[in-house]
Structure 1
């Protein structure tokens, strides 16, 4: 079970780094915000998985409390960033077409 969480933690962190690099390389403002929001979703998923892994590794009351904080913070970050991805994703193609 721990290897499962470890694999997805690494994948979500790699997705975060990928989207952050795309954000810095982008020249269009809406596209930058879109990549920033996508990186936020990956970061939120990373924190959620880290909290779930804490439950598996350290099954004590303190471990569960720490995991609950991580899961709550990660869920809020992922949800708010997902809403931004959906909103800004509508304008990315339009902005690209205008700035050809």
Structure 2
């Protein structure tokens, strides 16, 4: 159990960086906004798992408080990112019915 959260933290931050670099490489605005939504989701997963990991590592009241704040912020980022990515994915499909 102690190794799962650090692995998720590393994977999510790597994916966040990947999507941010992908935004710079594309010229299509819809694709950029889709990648930005995915990046927000990855950032949210990073913050969420970081908050859980910090509480599990320290197990103090202050780490619990900080962990709860991180979980709330991370959860909001995850939800927002998935909604944005879903919206722009559907927009791309609507504008490109053949692809």
TM-score in terms of structure 1 length: 0.90
1:10 to partner: Cα distance: 0.3
1:82 lines up with 2:82 in the alignment = yes
Pairs within 5 Å for 1:55-70: 55-70=55-70
Distance change >3 Å, CA 22–CA 93, structure 1 → 2: farther
Q: How many residues matched?
A: 97
1:93 to partner: Cα distance: 4.3
Q: Distance in 1 between matches of 2:23 and 2:92?
A: 13
Quote the RMSD (CA, aligned, Å).
1.5
Q: Give the unaligned 5+ runs of structure 1.
A: none
